[in-house]
Amino acid sequence: MSTPHVLILGGHGKVALKLTPLLLQKSWRVTSVIRDKDQESDITATANSHAENLKVLVESIEGVRSTNDATRVLDQVKPDYVVWSAGAAGKGGPVRTFAIDRDACRYYIDAAASPTSTVKKFLLVSYITSRRSYPPWWTSEDKASADNVNQNILANYYKAKVAADEYLTARSKAARDGGKAFADICLRPGFLTDDDGGEGVLLGKTGSRGEVSRADVARVAAALLDTEYRGWLDLLKGKEDIQEAVNRCVAEKVDCIEGEDLEAIYNTKLELD
């Protein structure tokens, strides 16, 4: 494949604004989807190299109400990879959380995984406790903390993200079973911070508690897109060099989906309402 073309959904988000220049530095092409034309200058300001490879598309994600709506955008842009870093961020109540974090995300996944789409990889920025079961490596403190976040603090976000993550896994498997080369990457950071990061990460089977900088999430996402990785990866601040951590997870096929009911996930209903 020639230079990859990445469509970033949620292009004006804090992670996306850090990811965009990293992809341009690789000489990749980026189309950044934003909802407000006034945000365009914030996107173009990130392009410290290869600015000619950056495009901005104004499209509301909330307006995506079907797979056809998402297909229209993908057909227009024809990306090789899609990064989902959009989110309602708790604004607009449960209706908006489900409309963006679950429904629009699943429509984009469905469109991307279709045999006729150009997309070969879908990287979804999720969060570390977006899962139904306790993985075997969690401590009792990890379990209690995850329960508190998922049941008391972010109950609707939790339901929306689990639905999107499981749909990504199931829909991608169906696409591969149907003969399409399609990698699903579910990147699952802990609490996000705005510092520069750069001191290393804990990537793979981590605890459920802790934080990581948005800058490091962007670095890990950029590195993962350059590999053959597929699966779920949890991410916290740590001490391992990012490229080494990514190489290790690829080589060892680390997949944090371990502990979930895989059969139930693969039986997720793929037809969307």
Ligand X SMILES: NC(=O)c1ccc[n+]([C@@H]2O[C@H](COP(=O)([O-])OP(=O)(O)OC[C@H]3O[C@@H](n4cnc5c(N)ncnc54)[C@H](OP(=O)(O)O)[C@@H]3O)[C@@H](O)[C@H]2O)c1
Binding site for ligand X (CB under 6 A): 10, 12-16, 35-36, 60-62, 85-89, 100, 125, 127, 189, 191-192, 214
Q: CB of 129 within 8 A of CB of 158?
A: yes
In the bound complex, what is the minimum distance in angstroms from residue 44's beta carbon to ligand X? 15
- Token digits of residue 125: 């920025």
Q: CB of 3 within 8 A of CB of 54?
A: no
Question: Which of residues 111 and 125 has its CB atom nearest to ligand X in the complex?
Answer: 125
Q: Which residue has the tokens 């793979």?
A: 204
In the bound complex, what is the minimum distance in angstroms from residue 249's beta carbon to ligand X? 18
In the bound complex, what is the minimum distance in angstroms from residue 42's beta carbon to ligand X? 9
Pairing relation of β-strands 81-84 and 121-125?
A: parallel
In the bound complex, what is the minimum distance in angstroms from residue 73's beta carbon to ligand X? 11
Q: CB of 164 within 8 A of CB of 127?
A: no
In angstroms, the CA 237 to CA 207 distance is: 11
In the bound complex, what is the minimum distance in angstroms from residue 125's beta carbon to ligand X? 4
Pairing relation of β-strands 5-9 and 29-34?
A: parallel
Question: Which of residues 33 and 246 has its CB atom nearest to ligand X in the complex?
Answer: 33
Question: Which of residues 15 and 220 has its CB atom nearest to ligand X in the complex?
Answer: 15
In angstroms, the CA 142 to CA 68 distance is: 40
Question: Which of residues 53 and 129 has its CB atom nearest to ligand X in the complex?
Answer: 129
Contact residues for 161 (Cβ-Cβ < 8 A; gap 6+): 101, 102, 126, 127, 130
In the bound complex, what is the minimum distance in angstroms from residue 214's beta carbon to ligand X? 6
Question: Which of residues 183 and 186 has its CB atom nearest to ligand X in the complex?
Answer: 186
Question: Which of residues 127 and 158 has its CB atom nearest to ligand X in the complex?
Answer: 127
Taking the mean position of all CA atoms in its chain, how far away is CA 38? 25
Q: For residue 153, with 0-12 CB atoms within 10 Å meaning exposed, 13-18 middle and 19 or more buried, which class applies?
A: exposed
In the bound complex, what is the minimum distance in angstroms from residue 257's beta carbon to ligand X? 17
Tell me the longest C-alpha to C-alpha distance in the chain: 50
Question: Which of residues 90 and 198 has its CB atom nearest to ligand X in the complex?
Answer: 90
Q: Where are the alpha helices (DSSP H) in 86-154?
A: 93-97, 105-113, 140-147
